Amino acid sequence: MAESKGKKLGVNQVLAVQVVVSFVVIAVLIVVGVLLIFRVMGTEYSRFTVAGFIATVYMAFITFQPAGTLFAARKELIEGKVELPAGGDAATDGLVGNPWLMTLPVSFPIALFCTAIILGIIYGTGWTPRPRITLALSLLYVIPHYLITSRFIGNDLARLAAKGLGAYAGVISKKGYFWKTYILPNFIFQLIINCPIANRGFHQEMLKLSREIPNLQGILPVKAVVVDHVITFMFVCNFTFLAAVMYTISGFYLGIITLDGLGKGKGIHGFLYFLIMLFMGIVLGVLYGLALGAAGFENITFTAAMISKVVCVFISVYLGSYMAMGWTAKKIRAHMEAQATSAG
């Protein structure tokens, strides 16, 4: 575990910092989502639109963000930036758990409960909140996020510090860790967010097309789907990359991920990866459009568009995770080599 030269933070301070940082980022995304759903995709909306938006935010972020915060806190601990309280031996009993497996049995039911309360209020009173109220209600996700994370963070960091180093070397395979920690949770998380957005956007595109050509019902232009997939890939791949860096650092510390076959060569700057992923999104969209165009499709059905959306999300999550693992491994190798050189 590295030693930080700066002032260390206590567990509660780390929790507060991580929750605030993630809240700022997620709040920006929710604001963008409100503008997208209630302005860009059409100013007409129903009670179902509002309820669906809030439910999407709650089910995504209340369910999955606590584990993400634990992974981020682990990174801070491994880098020597956290000071654990003395006399916490009782908290070190037991094995170092997987943040997903620790939090999801608690966070998922709470997300359902919070969603049910909001839906009950909206449909029970016949209330259709305006977009600004919808935004404010959506941001309340942060309360259960904080409370759930606070329940686990102290014990998790204490166990990681006491028993984490190499704890799972040869016990958990790198391949299994990759699919269960990187791919599966992020794929479900991104589907919860992206499928409702696609449902709204694709239906609006079908409506526009049917108004222009009344005999075309239930289909939408390929070009609209291409634009959607390009933007989806850029966002999903980049955000998965950022999250997967945390998983890699934790996995390396636990001995699950080794540098064998990873981290060869010199790692490029992270911003260049951002540009690469933007370019990959454009290439993916162009190839998708060309393939459908070559097959003679100018329009496709809603079902086909949604299936391709799911495939796009999976590809984005997989590539973002894979690139993050390789990039982080290169940074770890470079750090270890620098330490060896300075010690020698």
The answer to the question of residue 338 being in a domain is no
Look-up: residue for tokens 């999550």? 317
The answer to the question of residue 242 being in a domain is yes
d(CA 272, CA 278): 10
d(CA 69, CA 26): 13
Write down which residue in 164, 189, 208 finishes a domain: 164
pLDDT at position 226: 96
Which range, 3-7, 90-94, 111-115, 161-165, has the best average confidence (pLDDT)?
Answer: 111-115
d(CA 333, CA 266): 9
d(CA 320, CA 241): 4
The answer to the question of residue 339 being in a domain is no
Residue 169 backbone phi and psi in degrees, to 5: -60, 120
Task: Using the CB atoms, write b or e for 7-16: b if 16+ within 10 Å.
Answer: eebebeebbe
- Structurally, the chain folds into a number of domains equal to 2
Q: What is the pLDDT of residues 50-108, one digit of tens each?
A: 999 999 999 999 999 999 999 999 999 999 999 998 765 556 667 788 999 999 999 99
- Looking at the structure, tell me whether residues 176 and 151 fall in a common domain: no
The tokens of 321 are what?
């995770």
- Looking at the structure, tell me whether residues 324 and 191 fall in a common domain: yes
- Looking at the structure, tell me whether residues 158 and 170 fall in a common domain: no
As beta bridge partners, residue 82 has 9
pTM: 0.92
Q: What is the pLDDT of residues 240-259, one digit of tens each?
A: 999 999 999 999 999 888 87
Instruction: Return mean pLDDT, the chain.
Output: 90
CA distances from 306 to 100, 198, 216, 239, 340 (A): 27, 7, 18, 21, 51
